[in-house]
Amino acid sequence: MLGNYREKVFAPASFLASVGLDRRIVKLESEDCFFAQGDLADSVFFLQQGRAKVSVIAERGKLATITLLFPGEFFGEESLGAAPEKRAATVTAVNKCTAFKMKKEEMMQVLHQELDFSDQFLSCLLARGMRIQADLVDQMFNSSEKRLARALLLMAETEKPEEPQAVIPPITQQTLAEMVGTTRSRVSFFMNRFRDLGLISYKNRIRVHRQRLQAALLDQFAGG
């Protein structure tokens, strides 16, 4: 029986919707904040729908986007520390978002009692840590054009990787510029170039031709 149980795919969203946690559903519009840098860290979030970005503001006021958050990811885990912590970053909705918000005490209780939930939570944190590490390498060694191509590919990830095209959530060129560490005018220039090369298409929404953009990312883009 235990073997059969372990073979089931654990679904955090269904679990969180069914258990009696002190949790609530949070719905945000584009550019709304889940929490801001410096806020008291007292809760953990699980993103159900939409995309969010994690940003930090340096002492001189420069804004940098660290990474994107996708449906199925936890964030705000710094609240689980032994001592009260402050948020080290700001998490902002890129488009319409829906998330579970769980108080620290309830989250700690479930992590101790539910092994599958704990495994999923840890896997999420490890995967995001690896992605952030890849983002840092990207920022240090790749051109801004390559960084933009990679950001678009990340946003175009779907549950059906065999599909050649994907429409990404609504996002401004300014947000893309913050994500890749360049100016909005450079993003505009690169987006036009990508469109001319047939790597993307857009009117109201950006459609990424994933295989073409991936190929170009591997062997074409250089300076930036």
143-219 maps to CATH 3.40.50.300: no
Helices 173-180 and 184-196 cross at an angle (nearest 10°) of 100
* Least-confidence region, from 73-82, 102-111, 165-174, 177-186: 165-174
Give CA 81 to chain center in angstroms.
Answer: 22
33: which DSSP letter?
A: E
What is the C-alpha to C-alpha distance for residues 161 and 81, in angstroms, rounded to an integer? Answer: 36
* Model pTM score: 0.76
Strand partners, 165: 209
pLDDT (0 to 100) of residue 163 = 64
pLDDT in the model for residue 38: 92
Map out the domains of the chain as residue ranges: 2-139, 143-219
pLDDT tens digits for 179-197?
888 899 999 999 999 999 9
Q: Domain 2-139 is of which CATH architecture?
A: Sandwich (2.60)
CA–CA separation, 37 and 60 (whole Å)? 15
Give CA–CA dist 170/1, Å, rounded. 45
* Whether the Cβ atoms of residue 117 and residue 45 lie closer than 8 Å to each other: no
143-219: same fold as 2-139? no
The span from the CA of 12 to the CA of 121, in Å, is 9
DSSP 9: P
